[in-house]
Structure 1
Amino acid sequence: MVLGMSLFTLNDAMGKWLVEIYPVPMILAVRSAASLLILAPLILRAGPVRVMRTDKPIAHLVRVVLMIAEVALFYLSVRVLPLADVMTIYMAAPLFVTALSVPLLGEKVGARRWCAIAVGFAGVLMVLRPTGDILGFGALAALGGSFTFALMLISTRSLRGTGGLTLLVFQTLGVGAAGAVAMPFYWTPPTWPHLGLLGVLGLVALAAHALVNRSLKISPAAVVVPYQYTSLVWALALGWIIWGDVPDLWIAAGAALIVASGLFVFHREQQLAAAPDLSSEAGAASQGRRSPDR
């Protein structure tokens, strides 16, 4: 998980550097093409028809649209904001997921988790500082990307029975197609070294996905998921080494609140999953919902 998150952050840092030179559609198209080249042997081995077969085409379409929007918003935000700032705002995504699971999935969230969500969003406000100049296009794009990422995670829950390769293929094709459609209007001739780096983006992202998925297969989620927050450490390090960015105290304090609240929400959900309330366990299980906090 730690190595996977470090690769994700490295991928984001490379994307931030490249997006200062090349338009977002071009990055999406070339990155996706490189990913498809790596996925091609797996697709051929599993059978293209089998990989692409689905009984939930609308759900896949919604997920792909959300992913296209999220990736585009992320690259637009890192174009104008330090990488650590954007990653800090993205750390609020698990809080969005918990809050949105109530109206979208019919799940129940108790008082303790609502308090943690409120604390986390207070941390987001500390990072954004809406009364200052920082609340510009970049900050709004990062916040929109975090929210869209949360919606994408929720949409993935409705596809939990779909194979991992199918999900990867659909999202890679969707993001690549969106970039390819818009690319002619934003084409910038790349140098050969830069073209290679654009391709490496897709390879690094695939390796990161594989490592994270592997960690979840060999270890309980309660053990490895909290390590996702190490991506913030990598973002701070890379931002300082490459761009000389040093977060101020507001961003550091906001990041601490966001991470702490996210870890509490995750820990609380693990507690409820391990020891559900006996009086409501049957009802919650029959409805596929979490028991309320006690």
Structure 2
Amino acid sequence: MTAIAAPASAASDSRMGILMMLLGMSLFTVNDALGKWLVSEYPVGMLLAIRSLFGAVLLAPMIWREGVRAVFAVERLPLHLLRVGCVTAEVACFYWAVRWLPLANVMTIYMAAPLLVTALSVPILGEKVGWRRWAAVLVGFAGVVVVLNPTGAFDPLPSLVALIGTTIFATGMITTRLLRDARNLSLVSYQTFGTGLLGAASLPVVWVAPPGMDFLLLGALGITALAGHAAMNRSLQLSPAAVVVPFQYVSIVWAVVLDLVVWGTPPTLRIAAGALLIIGSGLFVFHREQTLKRNAGG
């Protein structure tokens, strides 16, 4: 039986969607590496404030075009503020953790966030999760334990902070689900300005005057983060999520490369094993969710 070829335009969109996802995740990894580099010299509050300042400058023309009131006068304001708090806290946890741990370690732990979302969606969203996804979640958590290495020589505080940040990140993702009807520009604007204000509140205590180049690098955090979000959103517009989402795990590969090239930290078998468990579990959960959606639609 001859297979029916997909329309050329659809195939082209899928390829472009994959490329945009790869670009977005690469930009996020560069952002995280910059954060690791800079947090050794500057307090986390400064990183949050200056990166948000540059992000706000990029957002300003779009907000002006759409109208300030249209962007910021939102329904369910408490949820937006909760999301801002989650985003700020998890980014702060991430930057603090990568100051002491290899980038790949922290990013691998953060990759468990979708598994936490699956677990938390039961009590918070009232969703039903079958035994297959629960089993995958448990396997993924086993991967986190392998990365944390609690029975070996490890620094418990940064690892605990990374795990707390992952949990807060997952909570923020669930909050975003609850705000699925909100405009994307409103979500990004609240996130950028809210994080900036919270970071700025610490500046009177933690301010360290950076030289010009460091100030630009701090600003590059905001630029790369916004560009990464734009690329990822465009990817999901061009291609089905089932096609492009698995490519998000390329960020772990980039993190391993940057750890080796920039900081001279080679990957360990433990990290590789933990990453395989987390990635495999995450892909299974995602595949299972897509299957259930197709069956429900049929």
TM-score range, shorter chain: over 0.9
The residue that corresponds to 1:291 in the other structure is: none
**Distance in structure 1 (CA, Å) of the matches to 2:216 and 2:297:** 54
Tell me, in whole angstroms, the C-alpha distance in 1 between the residues paired with 2:247 and 2:151.
Answer: 32
Give unmatched runs, 5+ long, in structure 2. 1-20
- Consecutive unaligned residues of structure 1, counting only runs of 5 or more, are 279-294
| 1:59 alignment partner in structure 2 | 79
- Whether the 8 Å contact between 1:2 and 1:227 is mirrored in structure 2 is yes
2:210 matches 1:190: yes
Q: Pairwise mapping of residues 43-82 of structure 1 onto structure 2 (< 5 A)?
A: 43-82=63-102
Match of 2:149 in 1: 129
Q: Using the alignment, how far apart are the partners of 1:45 and 1:134 within structure 2?
A: 50
Q: In structure 2, what is the equivalent of residue 163 of structure 1? A: 183
Q: Write the letter of the residue equivalent to 1:164.
A: N
1:13 matches 2:33: yes
Task: Report the alpha carbon displacement of residue 276 of structure 1 after superposing the two structures with TM.
Answer: 2.9
Write the distance in 2 (CA, Å) between the matches of 1:119 and 1:35. 37
Kindly provide the CA deviation profile for residues 66-93 of structure 1, in whole angstroms up to 9, marking residues without a partner as x: 1111011001100000000000101100
Q: Residue 106 of structure 2 contacts residue 162 of structure 2 at CA under 8 Å; is this kept in 1?
A: yes
Contact 1:9-1:231 within 8 A present in 2 as well = yes
Answer yes or no: is the 8 Å Cα contact 2:260–2:267 preserved in 1.
Answer: no
Please report the TM-score for the alignment, with normalisation by the length of structure 1: 0.93
> Partner of 2:291 in structure 1?
271
Measure the CA separation in 2 of the matches of 1:192 and 1:39: 23
- 1:129–1:135 CA contact under 8 A, matched in 2: no
**Alpha carbons 1:84, 1:232 under 8 Å: kept:** yes
Q: Is the 8 A contact 2:105 2:271 kept in 1?
A: yes
Q: Once the two structures are superposed, what CA deviation does each residue of 1:134-171 show, in whole Å capped at 9, x if it has no partner?
A: 25111011111111100000000111111111001101
Aligned-residue offset at 1:277? 9.4
Deviation track 1:194-251 (CA, whole Å, cap 9, x = no partner) reads 0011111101111000000000011001101111111101111111110011121111
- Say whether 1:212 aligns with 2:248: no
Number of the residue aligned with 1:251: 271
Residue identity opposite 2:234 in structure 1: R
Amino acid at match of 2:61: P
1:40 positional shift? 0.5
Q: What is the one-letter code of the residue matched to 1:180?
A: A
Instruction: Give how far 1:132 is off.
Output: 2.5
**Distance of 2:148 and 2:94 partners within structure 1:** 16
1:176 matched to 2:196: yes
Match of 1:41 in 2: 61
Tell me which residue corresponds to 1:199.
219
User: How many equivalent pairs are there?
Assistant: 278
Alignment counterpart, residue 237 of structure 1, candidates 257, 262, 282: 257
Aligned mate of 1:143, from 152, 163, 167: 163
Using the size of structure 2 for normalisation, the TM-score is 0.92
Structure 1 moving runs of 4+ over 6 Å: none
CA RMSD of aligned residues (A): 1.1
